[in-house]
Structure 1
Amino acid sequence: MFFLIFFSLGIFTVFGQSVTITGKVTDDTNEPIPGVNVLIKGTQSGTITDFDGLYKLKVAKSDILVFSYIGYATKEVAVSDQTTINVKLESDATSLDEIVVVGYGTQKKIDVTGAVTRANIEDFRDAPNANIGQSLQGTVPGLNIGQVTSAGSTPSIQIRGASTLNGNQSVLIILDGIQYTNSLSSLNPDDIESIDVLKDASSTAVYGAQAANGVILITTKKGRKNRNPVISFSSKFSTQAPSVGLRPMGREGYLEHIKMLNYRDAYIAPEYTVPNPDYDVLEYVDSSVLDPITGELLPNDFDWWDQATQRGYIQETLFNVSGGSEKTTYLISLGLTEQNGYIINDNFERKSIRVNLETEAADWWTVGTQVFGSFTNKDGAEPSLSSIVRSSPLHTPYLENGDLNPSPFNTLDRNPFLTYDVLNEERDNYISANLYSQIDVPFIPGLSYRINFGNNYKTELRYGASEYEASENGAAYKNTRFKLDFTLDNIITYKKKFGKHDISATYLYGVREKKEEGTNASATVFSRLKLGYDRIQLGENQFVSSYAFTEKFNYQMFRLNYKFNDKYLLTGTIREDGFSGFAENEKYGYFPSGAFGWIISNESFMENTDWINNLKLRGGYGVSGNLTGRYSSLARLSTGAAYVFGDGGATVFGQQLSSLANPNLRWERTAGMNLGLDFSLFNSRLTGSIDAYQNTTNDLLFSVALPQITGFSSIQTNIGKMQNKGLEISLTGDIIKKQDFSWGTTVNFSTNKNKILELTGEDVNQDGVEDDLIASNLFIGQGTARDVIYTYEQDGIYQIGDDIPAGFSPGQLRIVDQNDDGIINEDDRKIIGRRDPAYRISMLNTFKYKQFSFSFFLNSIQGGKDSYLSNTNVGISHSDNTIRFNYLEGINFWQPNNPTGDQPLTANGVSNPSVGAGIYQDRSFVRLQDVSLRYNFNQAVLDKLGMSSLSLFLSGKNLATWTDWKGWDPEIQDVDRGIYGSGLVAGGRPVMKGVSIGVNLSF
């Protein structure tokens, strides 16, 4: 072969001057790439790079060299007068030869028939993110990632909206082929090679009963064959500060607030706009803020907020070594992440170690292991932010002797700084190991058998002791929890090509077991707490409890992929699942799927359409399932004070049924259809995909209310049907692509809407239409109970002099009388909107000039006409507590001399409104979410320093947010706690913005 190459080059030099070119080919991180094809354009003459990415080739000056390698964008360089040509190949996410993970295997991207998307995590590696989930925000259409407001937290994750009412809402996480039920906070983001998202039912059906909410496949890094050891080091420091400047009122604002609550005395009737000279604030404040000797206001103006917050930061140090021989590859990584949050004692630390090792024991036998340990620390009890905001600036947290005052207020609120001097330990230790062995059967080409054994272990330690608890008599606790799960998968794969036919078959049989146990011990009333939680037995009142459970799964799956003539693709899957937690009569479920693909661009009639490089139509239909709680189908017992024997007898404890059994409780089943189009146009300058989908969930898991006469409030059963549909678009364009300068843009767009199609299917109204379940906030044709806003509609605030109906007063919300009967009651409620957004859109721009690269990422969620709404009503009424509590600055309360105030207020001497209502505001926003500037040192500098790569970077997170939302942040959402956007509330928490500086280097 080499003789033919040199012979061809010799003939070619007859037509041009010969020159010998040498150089090095590296990847995005300046690591050498062995095996790169280096060809002279228009010929088959060339060479390949060696182990160190080096090449040498004799060419003519008029030649153009073409550098190509699977997974990287092809690059062309004119020779001209150059004798050294070093080339950096960039990862090409649109490459048709790119391998993506599809569940129990991999496929070329061109052969995928389902809605499978690879997340772009490379452009966000420099961002100040302690959790890998933060790097996914807005990067994949249909993958919805929430914000975090505390150190080390995992954001909420949702794929294609809600598909259940109150079944399992969690996305299925697969780590290196094994289900991962632990927190993403345990993972070192630098260990992750790729993240693939399975969105439609035809691709998630391989995971059957647990895949209705979508699947995220995480693959960690490995070493590379035939590569000398590469030592990489990365370090960065990031600032953390609130993205909004909210803070509580100071002394003057607090006193003005008390005056506002008492405007009927502070101003002269009837307009209440002229100050009353007889008003004396001393008559309206709590006695605790008065000097006990002089009776005057205490001179304090204590800044509780300033004392409760600090300068936050993230400091990260990462190290790994990787490489490989002809038979063995290895990667060893170490990581240390330290994060101090904006609120004192909001701390997070993660220490991690990973070893990924793979070796070819024989030509037909590969064995490997992926082992990691992660040890997180969130020690420290942070103060309650709601108490910090409510604390009066006229109080201080200290006694005269300097000790903390446990109860400085005349309210139930205690001193929020009692968290200063306590013992608090919150440690999570994770150990995970995946062992695998694959045999490529020598005597049957294409047949392989792989066994995976994955084991996840976690310990949770929650220890605490405080002398301020139990009425300052002291309390301590020690709670431990152990979690263990293992997975054993047997996978048989057969691949065969014959003629124009290409088949791939996969059979899976697996079992999974999950165990958990915990012990809680606590005590109160200690004579001394010097030994804290290590001597709980010293407490007078001692309590102990424990629990344990085991869940078991087994499953099998068969998948067949067929391709004909590189044009027509078919995929069929069937999976059977069994789960110990389901009802006696419904232990197993079956989940089929099918999909097709048509590579239109490979048809003969497309030969002359040079502007279309790739065009593929795909469609699929499948069924996946959703789990219920492990005891949902069983009759359960509870223990409590249940019996009294005789008049005046003591109450004794007993056991009684707390729930009814349902032996026919079934799997939720989500049937989904997806139609997609993948394309690459104009010499791959524009690539993208479009997906439209519709999912229908049957047998919804729901607690149906029962008549009280039964003795039970509800029973878990299967009812109704709901639909979830949407559209997703992703476009990537190379706007400018030159030798020294390039500009690329990626735009993602998604929309999703769900509605209930059926409920009980039994009760119908007089028109023969099924009734809504209003008590459960469920309405036919509308979204989930968490999405639909069914309440009173408000139309501003009643002013003095208005015609005000009975039960209302000036300063209170004007409720719309929907039926015009002159009475405001529950009949006037209506659906006023939705909490879910109308659509999401994001845009990533990346610019590269010589050694510099700059990118910025805009992320936006929009509500449209009546979506993405949340209640911002902070309205208060005069009471013993409201004259003591402090509030955030900037709340525009109504009062007679401020009639345009948008927050209601009920003053002294006025009854509270007979009906409460919310003020629902659009949460739409546009956020400058990520910005990054990087400088990569050139090869000449690297050679002098003896390095393979060196880069410096500066990045920013959440630097600007454009929104009309009034409050902490519009994107904050905690569905379980009923928080949808955090308004001007005392208990809100800020989203952090920050700037990061760091260095990446490797040898």
Structure 2
Amino acid sequence: MKKFIWCHLYALRRIGCILFLLSITATSGWAEAQARPSASGVKIDLRLTDKSLPEILSLIEKKSGLGMVYNDQLVAGYDHISITANQQPVTAILDKILKDTRLHYLQKDNLVIIVEKENKTTSIPANDSGHLNEQEPVKGKVTDDKGEALPGVNVKIKNAAAGTVTDVTGHYTLHINSPDAVLIFSFLGFQDQEIPVSGRTSIDVVLKATVANLQEAVVIGYGTQRRGDVTSAVATVKSANFVKGPVQDAGQLIQGKVAGMTIGTPSGNPTAGSQILLRGNTTLYGANANPLVIIDGVPGDLKTVAPEDIESVDVLKDGSSAAIYGVRGSNGVIIITTKRARGSFSNTVDYSGYTTTQVIARKLNMLTAQDYRDQIKAGTRLASWDAGSSTDWLKEATRTPISHVHNLTIRGGNATTNYLVSGNYRALQGIFKKSDNNTFSGRIDVNHSMFNDKVKLNVGILNQTNNYTRNNNGDNSFNGWIYRQTVIRNPTEPVRKANGDFYEQTGNFDYENPLALLYESDGQAKNVNSRMNATVTYTPVNNLKLSALFSYARFNSNKGYAESKKHISNIKSGVNGFASVAADLSIDRLTEWTAEYNRNFGEHHFTVLGGYGYQENESSGNYADNQDFPTDLFGYNNLGLGEGIKNKLANISSYKTETNLISFFGRLNYNYADKYLLLASLRREGASQLYGANNPWGNFWAVSGGWRISNEGFMKGQGLFDDLKLRAGYGITGNPPNAGFLSKPLIGYGDYVYTNGKWSKILVPATNPNPFIRWEEKSEANIGLDFSMLKGRISGNIDVYNRRIKGLLYNYAVPSPPNLYPLTTANVGKMENKGIEIMLNFVPVKTSDFTWSTSVNFSTNTNKLISLSNELYQTTTPYFTTGAAGVPIQTFTNIVTIGKGIGDFYGYKVIDIDDKGKWIYEGRDGKPVKYDDFPHAFEDKKVIGNGLPKYYAGWNNNFSYKHFDLGITMRGAFGYQIINSQRMYMENPTIQNYNILRSAYDKVFGKTELKVNALEFNSYYVENGDFWKIDNITLGYTFAGLKNKYLKGARVYVSSLNTFTITGYKGLDPEVNRIGLSPGMDDRDKYPTTRSFTLGVNLNF
């Protein structure tokens, strides 16, 4: 008997022709918004005489690009069929040829499945007589890992001919001849499963997508591409592999999952976001350093999409993949595809929710009240500092938070109209008191097709409201100063005085009661994010799609903050309270028009895309503050009551900016015989930031190619490689300056002058005009290898890249006069990033009950500043300094030197300590110099570390045993150092007026205690930052075969996040800031990272 063609052999045999056309039809900017090719939407010519049904179906498959799934025995015996069709839909042709048969067809995405009309399931007899020694039939349902029914799945008895296929709802019925039979479930693009019957009469199955699926659709710019046709460095993470638990934003979902992408979470603040760096730092000043985020085809922000609403994340890492986005794609592109309505199915309701609690991941080992008193007895601390209480300040300021998240999704529809409605509520409590973040998101997605599928409409609406607490007047919701005060506060002091007021010591510099900072201030921020987008796709003729995307996004923020008259800052300044309000509004409009044409000539496959885009942004806002109020009752709701306005102590300001970006772009995809692949793109853009400059427009192009070695003749017969593809690409992208009008002379307010009996501010030049200002330009070369071995058991990719950035923006000192201003911004500098990325996937164990899949990623990055000068603009030194050690040390911490990389620490190098407890340094000549003889000059400083890791690694494991699943995510960073500012300021036993670390009394270098009063930044406080985190552990159980009429599926799970860290670093967390020009500083003012524990549930109705 012939094998069923929808098994994996079918996938391999048809890989060159089934999904290639289907995977690149999306032209609106995202994949899921576009309807895939359907049997009703594809029209073909057909003139056949006296042909068999299998021959006709095979020809329809070749002409339409649709996949025909059927059983050979089912369609056998239908011969002598003739048909003539002129540009008719495939549905009409199928209706004709199947009219007088017992067959019918179903459609699942891009597949047409042939089944019997009479029965919901089609059983294939074991022999010509059709008789089996049968027992009671086995029934069940087959779904994918998202709970969606899979029609057309092949269900077969192992070592027997009997089999069936699932119906449109995924159900099957199969008669078996033994209670010990083993069922084999197979479907195109999914892993086979073998399940023993073991006497059961009901077996439900969840099929998992194949580990290395060449037909998987990868979302790229303005469309999709079949995974097997990708010629650039593109990574994809599906929702099943996301990090679980209370993630801060969508970025943390893929933390440790993408080689070359560094995602950090250095803060436990519930309003904080993840820090993302892709393939190193690419700029110095004035330009954006973050990857572009695209949400369903529209530029957005990671915080505007609920993590539970995301279907997949695609990352365009290299220049050849990101160049289609031009100036915005310089730092890579993160493409987020949300869960969407698709296909025809009955109404379904999915609920997911979890509750979580947190603890501080690690605490500093400070002196307790008893330690204080012991040191007083030992004579190392002053007796006058014992205030008589015992207070754990960190405990007083924190709590055991309980957060909860709920997500409800409703979807339904038919082939003409379908919809998805989702609501997401996130109530997040921070570990610190009065640090809360509540967000509600509502989303609607509707697809409608009309005029025989010639016109398709997608409409998406998102509205998100976000309210969070504020305890400072800055941009951050939480004042990190509060944490510092909890650790440096004298533990013998009480929280409050006898009269109930907070206990304060106003005579100490930078010494404040952290509870008073929390409760003598009050603030709130209310943000509203709204987005509406619509895409219209018109197919006037076969293979041509015209699309138009319209998007309107609005962000509105209102903030208020107030300090009572008892707040320490007002006590010191002698005023009765302070209050401020701020409002910000941003409106973004985007219009994109695209046309896509694809055509096949034998083994030549072409797709051509052309488009035009226009984006404009309007941003405006205002701010006002006042002080000295008659009462605290109004908070920030009545600024006019303050007396500060009369004394000219109030402030008011406003702003408004407008920017726009105009783009023309095109792309060509070519595939010959599924062996030779080519992609070329060009984008021309003009930005308002360069208005008036000589170079307002930029051209950004890319070319990449691939060679599928595994499809060559000399690879035939080998059984090792399923797929082997070599690819290479080169692309150019750019970054515009953040500030606008740098080509024009700008003026601003200068000092006050006394004229005509009064003081007035004068207008002075604020910039020098530079008509040659232009984009920062990044060119990137990438060579990669994709492979799959042993039927997908081993797969992965290797990439080697080199990024060179020229025209770096930098401020140069110029003589004034003749220049109007002493600084000029110019494009002069050059920088380089290069590295290696490795991604390996394994399936070490795969049985009917147990599966273990694992993936390992590794990456390196080396950064180098090549130059900062040319003939016209020169730097005064071959370096510049940056970073800050803080008060009272007040020195820079980092240096950026031409010829070296970003991140170097620059300070005094300590090599020992003398008998007097004083530092011994390495001098300029490399020889030891004692503390009293050391000049402590700039020339005595050396490079004493670097804050950027040289190596990153991740290891992800997924185990499944029957209905149990276990996921473990691990990641690490190596080859870098951290400035431990906590030790730098709190590990000196001579400090009397602040609390200190217990380690302050340890012997330095094992010799003696430190006896130097002056605090300083030196190499003793620079530590190895290497770490390995067991980041996320999730254990779940899925309830299968539920008999409930309404509840179709359920899963419960427990999860931990930031579970365990292996490191030699002595601070709170080695995962510190890595963004910008001064990475590696573990600051004193922070919101400490937390460890979370979660209980969650997923329900399908």
Q: TM-score, normalised by structure 1?
A: 0.87
SS in 2 for 1:455: strand
1:425 and 2:524 are equivalent in the alignment: yes
Partner of 1:274: none
User: AA paired with 1:160?
Assistant: R
Counterpart CA distance in 2 for 1:29 and 1:82 is: 25
The change in CA–CA distance for 1:453 and 1:18 in structure 2 (over 3 A counts) is farther
1:5 aligned to which of 74, 83, 91: 74
The change in CA–CA distance for 1:301 and 1:591 in structure 2 (over 3 A counts) is same
Partner of 1:134: 252
Partner of 1:324: 413
The change in CA–CA distance for 1:533 and 1:827 in structure 2 (over 3 A counts) is closer
Q: Deviations over 1:971-997 (max 9, x none)?
A: 021645945252xx6434321112111
The change in CA–CA distance for 1:348 and 1:605 in structure 2 (over 3 A counts) is same
Report deviation, 1:928. 0.8
Counterpart CA distance in 1 for 2:376 and 2:870 is: 54
Report deviation, 1:185. 2.6
Contact 2:950 2:974 in 1 (8 A): yes
Contact 1:241 1:993 in 2 (8 A): yes
Q: Deviations over 1:626-684 (max 9, x none)?
A: 121132444332214332459xx764311111221211111011110111111110111
Report deviation, 1:6. 7.2
1:732 aligned to which of 813, 823, 841: 841
Counterpart CA distance in 1 for 2:656 and 2:439 is: 28
SS in 2 for 1:419: helix
SS in 1 for 2:637: helix
1:641 aligned to which of 741, 751, 769: 751
1:216 and 2:216 are equivalent in the alignment: no
Partner of 1:1000: 1098
SS in 1 for 2:695: coil
Question: Percent of counterpart pairs with the same letter?
Answer: 29
1:465 and 2:465 are equivalent in the alignment: no
Q: What pairs up with 1:228-627 in 2 under 5 angstroms?
A: 228-246=346-364, 248-254=366-372, 266=379, 281-282=382-383, 285=384, 297-362=386-451, 363-381=453-471, 384-405=482-503, 410-416=508-514, 417-441=516-540, 444-468=541-565, 469=570, 471-542=574-645, 543-582=651-690, 584-627=693-736
User: AA paired with 2:655?
Assistant: Y
Partner of 1:32: 149
Counterpart CA distance in 2 for 1:661 and 1:726 is: 37
Counterpart CA distance in 2 for 1:125 and 1:721 is: 37
Which stretch of the first structure deviates more once superposed, 713-722 or 671-680? 713-722
Which stretch of the first structure deviates more once superposed, 876-885 or 187-196? 876-885
Report deviation, 1:999. 1.2
The change in CA–CA distance for 1:764 and 1:156 in structure 2 (over 3 A counts) is closer
Contact 2:989 2:1011 in 1 (8 A): no
Q: Deviations over 1:701-759 (max 9, x none)?
A: 11223357767443211112111111111111110100011111111111111112222
User: AA paired with 1:827?
Assistant: E
Which stretch of the first structure deviates more once superposed, 666-675 or 520-529? 520-529
The change in CA–CA distance for 1:139 and 1:673 in structure 2 (over 3 A counts) is same
Which stretch of the first structure deviates more once superposed, 960-969 or 755-764? 755-764
Partner of 1:805: none
Partner of 1:715: 824
Structure 2 residue runs without a partner (length 5+): 1-52, 54-70, 78-123, 472-477, 646-650, 883-894
The change in CA–CA distance for 1:572 and 1:920 in structure 2 (over 3 A counts) is same
The change in CA–CA distance for 1:483 and 1:93 in structure 2 (over 3 A counts) is farther
The change in CA–CA distance for 1:130 and 1:508 in structure 2 (over 3 A counts) is same
1:741 and 2:850 are equivalent in the alignment: yes
The change in CA–CA distance for 1:639 and 1:406 in structure 2 (over 3 A counts) is farther
User: AA paired with 1:411?
Assistant: F
Report deviation, 1:107. 0.9
Aligned-CA RMSD value: 3.3
1:165 aligned to which of 278, 284, 289: 284
Q: Deviations over 1:74-98 (max 9, x none)?
A: 4456889887554321133521111
Partner of 1:155: 274
Report deviation, 1:59. 8.2
The change in CA–CA distance for 1:120 and 1:969 in structure 2 (over 3 A counts) is farther
Counterpart CA distance in 2 for 1:700 and 1:95 is: 41
Contact 1:37 1:49 in 2 (8 A): yes
Report deviation, 1:238. 1.1
The change in CA–CA distance for 1:922 and 1:827 in structure 2 (over 3 A counts) is same
Which stretch of the first structure deviates more once superposed, 392-401 or 339-348? 392-401
Report deviation, 1:41. 8.8
Q: What pairs up with 1:938-977 in 2 under 5 angstroms?
A: 938-939=1040-1041, 942-944=1042-1044, 946-973=1046-1073, 975=1075
Partner of 2:1029: 927
The change in CA–CA distance for 1:614 and 1:901 in structure 2 (over 3 A counts) is farther
Contact 1:427 1:462 in 2 (8 A): yes
Contact 1:318 1:334 in 2 (8 A): yes
The change in CA–CA distance for 1:903 and 1:358 in structure 2 (over 3 A counts) is farther
2:900 aligned to which of 775, 782, 805: 782
Report deviation, 1:228. 0.9
User: AA paired with 1:27?
Assistant: D
Partner of 2:475: none
1:839 and 2:955 are equivalent in the alignment: no
Contact 1:406 1:418 in 2 (8 A): no
Report deviation, 1:836. 1.1
SS in 1 for 2:924: coil
Report deviation, 1:917. 5.5
Counterpart CA distance in 2 for 1:729 and 1:487 is: 36
Counterpart CA distance in 1 for 2:853 and 2:469 is: 43
Partner of 2:113: none
User: AA paired with 1:123?
Assistant: N
Which stretch of the first structure deviates more once superposed, 407-416 or 150-159? 407-416
Report deviation, 1:511. 0.2
Report deviation, 1:595. 0.3
The change in CA–CA distance for 1:531 and 1:764 in structure 2 (over 3 A counts) is closer
User: AA paired with 1:961?
Assistant: T
Report deviation, 1:108. 0.7
User: AA paired with 2:714?
Assistant: F
Partner of 2:918: 811
Report deviation, 1:380. 4.3
SS in 2 for 1:972: coil
Contact 1:128 1:238 in 2 (8 A): yes
Counterpart CA distance in 1 for 2:984 and 2:705 is: 56
Aligned positions, number: 940
Report deviation, 1:620. 0.3
The change in CA–CA distance for 1:603 and 1:357 in structure 2 (over 3 A counts) is same
Partner of 2:115: none
Partner of 2:765: 657
Counterpart CA distance in 2 for 1:477 and 1:105 is: 46
The change in CA–CA distance for 1:78 and 1:256 in structure 2 (over 3 A counts) is closer
1:92 and 2:182 are equivalent in the alignment: no
Report deviation, 1:951. 0.9
The change in CA–CA distance for 1:372 and 1:37 in structure 2 (over 3 A counts) is farther
Q: Deviations over 1:778-835 (max 9, x none)?
A: 3233112xx12233322133332xxxxxxxxx33353443355976443343334322
Report deviation, 1:304. 2.0
Contact 1:121 1:136 in 2 (8 A): no
Q: Deviations over 1:312-348 (max 9, x none)?
A: 2321111111122121221111111111111111111
The change in CA–CA distance for 1:515 and 1:670 in structure 2 (over 3 A counts) is same
Report deviation, 1:65. 6.5
Counterpart CA distance in 1 for 2:713 and 2:986 is: 76
1:937 aligned to which of 1039, 1043, 1068: 1039
The change in CA–CA distance for 1:403 and 1:10 in structure 2 (over 3 A counts) is closer
User: AA paired with 1:551?
Assistant: T
Counterpart CA distance in 1 for 2:1032 and 2:987 is: 44
Contact 1:26 1:33 in 2 (8 A): yes
User: AA paired with 2:905?
Assistant: I
The change in CA–CA distance for 1:507 and 1:41 in structure 2 (over 3 A counts) is farther
Structure 1 residue runs without a partner (length 5+): 261-265, 268-279, 290-296, 801-809
SS in 1 for 2:251: helix
